[in-house]
Structure 1
Amino acid sequence: MASTTVKRGTMGYGIIFAPMVLLLYPLYCLLSSAHWVATLCLIALALILFFNINKLIRNLRHLERAAHHLGDGDLSYQLDEKDAGVFHTVVHSINRMGEDVSRTILSLVDTSEWMKKVATDIKTISEQAKQGVLEQERQTELAATAMTQMVSTVQEVSHNAANTAQAADIAQTSAKHGDEVMGAIVNKISDMTSQIHQTKAVIEHLAADTNSISSIIETISQVAEQTNLLALNAAIESARAGEHGRGFAVVADEVRNLAKRTSEATAEIQQQITALQKGAQQGVEVMLKNVTIADETALMVEKAHQSLGEIVTHVESITDMSHQIATASEEQHAVAEEINKNINAMTELALKNAHHTNLTNLSSLKVYNMSQEIGSLLHRFHVDKQLFTSNQAQSQLFVKWGPELDIGMPEINRQHQRLVSLVNELHRTLSEAYGLEAIKRIVQGLVDYTANHFSYEEELFARFGYPQTAGHKEKHAQLVGQVLDFQKRVARGEDVADELMAFLKSWLVNHIQKSDREYAQFLLSHGAE
């Protein structure tokens, strides 16, 4: 052996050509001998071995090339299984591994893209929420300032209301006292009116008496005039009688003087009586006016008394209302204080919300960065998505996604599409006779993803108050129970392929088209997306 160095890619040649030299050496010896028949047989055998070994080497080269592609992350490379020979199983396994890993990577790519979209949406929403929280904080601060002013104002109003109630109490007391005084005045004026009426009657009686006296004085005046005439006649007769009538003349003269004096006194009395009558008449007229004024005054005082009574009633009402206002103002002050505390609490909560919004924003950035990292890691592998999609289109999918399965909610649709892919993947593994362990892993993945999907749906039901939540949860529980039963049967090695796939297809299509459409209409009408 001159050298033991084997270059990369030639190791297979060293392994194959070493036995060939050993086989050809006896052939050389045989050719030099006379046993040419045996030599020909050996030559034929050597040729057969050469062609078989050459084919083996070619297949090993394909396997080596496939290994290099897989090692370099190129999952699009496929081996030709028709001419694989003894390596058919290995070639099929390598091709299947490439396809399976390609499906997984394509799913991860889709999930990564969706994560980036969701992270971007969350970031946008959190930014909007942050602006809203900042505006809420600003408005809350303004409300707190206004509420503080309102508390001060309400406190002042409460103080003024208390003072008003106190003043109303004083006014009520004064009004009641005034009403009592007015009542006494009414009584006094009533008494005065009665006395004025009595005085009027006395003055009228006095006027009547003066009229009577005037008649008597007039009679006396007439008697005095007659006496004066008689005395004059007596004096004339006495003068005729001469000496005999002198004494009678003296008497007649005295009588005449007395009649004269009586007449003069009567005239003076008549003047006094006339003046007295005139004064009495004026007194009667004044008393009549006083009676009218007294009556009007009594009426006005009575009306004033009634008005004062109404004022007392109104003052009492005002007093009651003032007390009610004072009580309400105190309650309003207490409520305003409580509202002020709540606004302060809202301000603190707004600050916390702003902090949590920032954390949400940071979390969305982290999710976005992680999705970018996943995308960067997936760039390590090369997958011919167009070829893979074309192969899928050419193959018969067990369940096909179409518009009839679209319920109008993007995230739910995405999860349903993933469920359809898992069901199709399970159908493919069963159709292509994958091992039991591979089937068990796919079934477990289907169970886990279904549980996660149901949990997401039920969270939406709780958030938006879906009225049929209980019935839908019951359907979820029944399905999970049935799938778990199938999982146990698969683990026991039972042949449930046809039964399981028929069940999954029936449930998936019927459940989406009926039950899920029902809740989708409700959730969309209540603001879900």
Structure 2
Amino acid sequence: MKNNQPVTQKDFPVRPDCAIISHTDAKGRITYVNDEFVEYAGFTREELIGQPHNIIRHPDMPPEAFRDMWTTLKAGRAWQGMVKNRRKNGDHYWVKATASPRPDGGYMSVRLQPTREEVTAAEQLYREMREGKRIRLSGGYVLSGFGSRLRDAYINLSLTTTAMLPMFLMVIILAILASWQYLQVTDPAIEAVITTLLIKLGLVSGVALLWLFMVLRSNSHRLDKLRRVALEIGSGNLVGEAPVGKHDEIGNVFNAVMIMRNRLYEIAFQMTQSARELNVAAVEMLGASEETSRGAVEQSNASASMAAALEELTASVEQIGHNASEAFAASEAAGKIASAGSKAVYASSEEIRHIAVAVQNSSKRLGELEALSDNIGKIVSTIRDIADQTNLLALNAAIEAARAGEHGRGFAVVADEVRNLAERTAQSTVEISEMVSQIQQQTDAAAREMQASVSQVEEGVAKARQAGQSVAEIEQGTQRVIQATQDIQQVLQEQAMAAREVAETVEGIANLADSNAAQAEQALIASRHVQDTTQVIDELRKQFKVFKHQP
């Protein structure tokens, strides 16, 4: 026998509302386990499926218990008994197991919570068996000694055999009596022997008749018990005691009822779990359906609002497109004006530049004139110096002529004329100097004004150039505005088309949302129907008693 180790001897009690169910094939390999089996075994479902069922066998279980179980199951009968199973971590849990054959040739086992007394009795029994005490099990019952073997033999007698034995003895007695009367025995010794034999056979027949009465009474009790078990199962109680007892015809019916009850228990327990899960799912589905219904209505309203908004948006986009077309035309006209202005500013800038050149040339001419005036002043100054010198020489000549007397009179006249000429020359040079000074002043003022004009003209040229650059930039900006306006116009046209398509799509979505709202309402009605159905199933579930303490 497989010895699974280690063990902790730590009990993991089974809950009272728990049923641990498993299926195996004909070779004892696990084919199905419920969630409770996985929970208490401590293995994953993947670790269990396909493995021998002894993967959960505890080493404290005696081999005789499993021998009896498999012998009973292979004989087609149900088996009941206490089992100590090992968890994956070495802990253990006690169960009251009912194993039975399945139609597919495999086996199933339903395990429930045992009482504390049942666990204590099983621990003591299995400990004695492990210590070597000769204890034999049959169908889950303990057999020991001659009485047990006799009981086992009695258990295995069929109902027909049990009833026929006393009747067979009665037939023998009647046959002997008939033979004795027929033979007319006269020998007293033989007659005494026959009489003694008849008395003994009478006693045996009496015992046989008593046995027949007890068998009939026992069978009557068993049939009554079978009736009560069938009534309990019919009323939904699937946890009542139903020992198979003998292996006769009544016992076979008991066995069939046990197998049926075991299967019904599995179905009822799974229906109980499914009803709970279905009820939870129905509540969740009802809530989700209500949310979906509300969401569908909101979606329908939102889709309708969105469709109206998109229709307004489409109209707005088309209006913006029209405005963009007008802006494009205005921008194009402004671009032409800016281009013409740029050309005009450029021409003005060129004219101002030419004027600046002319003014600069005039300024240069005034500078040259001022230089000539300076030269004239210098010449006039020289003439004035010459006139002064001539006047001085004329004065000296007059003095010398006066000294010469009569001889110097003509020279004096000449000297006087020279002096007068020198004086007029000096006066003229003074006038010329004044005129040259005025010319210089006017020329200097004109030069300063011309220089100021040159600065202003240069500043005008610079500003004209800046204006030209600004106008050129305006022209470039206008071209960019034209291009951007053209792009905007194109994009708006595309958006108008897209908005119309989106509006059509949203209209379809709105129609679909209306359909979804109707379907959601139908789903809500269906969810309520499912919830009502789960309540009906729950009421049906309550008719089955699958736990001892179930109300």
What range is the shorter-chain TM-score in? 0.3 to 0.5
Give the TM-score normalised by structure 1: 0.48
Give the structure with the larger strand fraction.
2
Give the TM-score normalised by structure 2: 0.46
Give the structure with the larger helix fraction.
1
